[in-house]
């Protein structure tokens, strides 16, 4: 009877040990994973990108929190801080907050979210809202709560101000300066060689000024809203 009792106790003890061992191993493995994840977060502060998909410090799915230097372009999720590029295609899948500078302005800079800050590149393509300023040969923007300066500025929504050879705003613009200015609505001033709008709440100054609701639809030198 004593032998049976002793055997039963040994079996139960072995079972308890067998069940508890994997739990300890899991805890150790989870601790190692946590340490690795913390290390990865630290490394995401800084990135050196060779070209999109090949970089040191972060992958294209990661976000950058402080600094990124891009040789032939880069792709990341969200980017905050200073972003320097040489040439290629720089893509931000989310939002960008900081300053982007193309050292050799042969680059397309794409932000699929909002841009808060500034950018200087050959082509600035912002699918969200620009809260700041962008400068380039071509700027294609959804909305601009700030300035857009370039040879060609194309804004799908509203803009605070545009400066360039050709500026087209599908919504409302406050200030538009260039050789050819076109906006659906102007709440402020258009200054250029040719100015055109459907709804003018301000003044146009240029060689040819077209405003559907102006004093006359087309006037040289100056046109303004016919009623106040």
Residues sharing a CB contact under 8 Å with residue 61, sequence separation 6 or more, in sequence order: 77
* pLDDT per residue rounded down to tens, the chain (228 residues): 444 444 444 444 444 444 444 444 434 344 444 444 444 443 479 999 999 989 999 999 999 999 999 999 999 999 999 999 999 999 999 999 999 999 998 999 999 999 999 999 999 999 999 999 999 999 999 999 999 999 999 999 999 999 999 999 999 999 999 999 999 999 999 999 999 999 999 999 999 999 999 999 999 999 998 665
Determine the Cα–Cα distance for residues 19 and 3; give it in Å rounded to an integer: 24
Burial class (CB in 10 A: 0-12, 13-18, 19+), 196: buried
């Amino acid at each position: 009877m004593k032998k049976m009792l002793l055997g039963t106790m040994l079996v139960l003890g072995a079972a308890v040990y067998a069940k508890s061992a994997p739990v300890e191993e899991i805890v150790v493995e989870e601790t190692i994973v946590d340490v690795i994840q913390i290390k990865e977060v630290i490394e995401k502060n800084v990135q050196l990108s060779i070209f999109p998909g090949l970089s040191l410090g972060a992958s294209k799915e990661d976000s950058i929190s402080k600094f990124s230097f891009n040789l032939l372009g880069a792709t990341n999720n969200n980017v905050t801080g200073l972003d320097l590029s040489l040439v290629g295609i720089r893509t931000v899948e989310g939002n960008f907050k900081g300053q982007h500078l193309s050292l050799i302005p042969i680059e397309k800079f794409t932000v699929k979210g909002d841009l808060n800050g500034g950018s200087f590149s050959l082509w600035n393509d912002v699918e969200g809202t620009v809260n700041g300023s962008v400068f380039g040969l071509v700027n294609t923007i959804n909305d601009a709560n700030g300035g857009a300066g370039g040879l060609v500025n194309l804004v799908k929504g509203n803009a605070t101000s545009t400066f360039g050879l050709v500026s087209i705003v599908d919504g409302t613009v406050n200030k538009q300066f260039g050789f050819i200015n076109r906006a659906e609505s102007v709440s402020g001033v258009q200054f250029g060689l040719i100015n055109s709008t459907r709804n003018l709440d301000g003044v146009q100054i240029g060689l040819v000024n077209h405003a559907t609701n102006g004093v006359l639809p087309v006037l040289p030198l100056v046109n303004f809203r016919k009623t106040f």
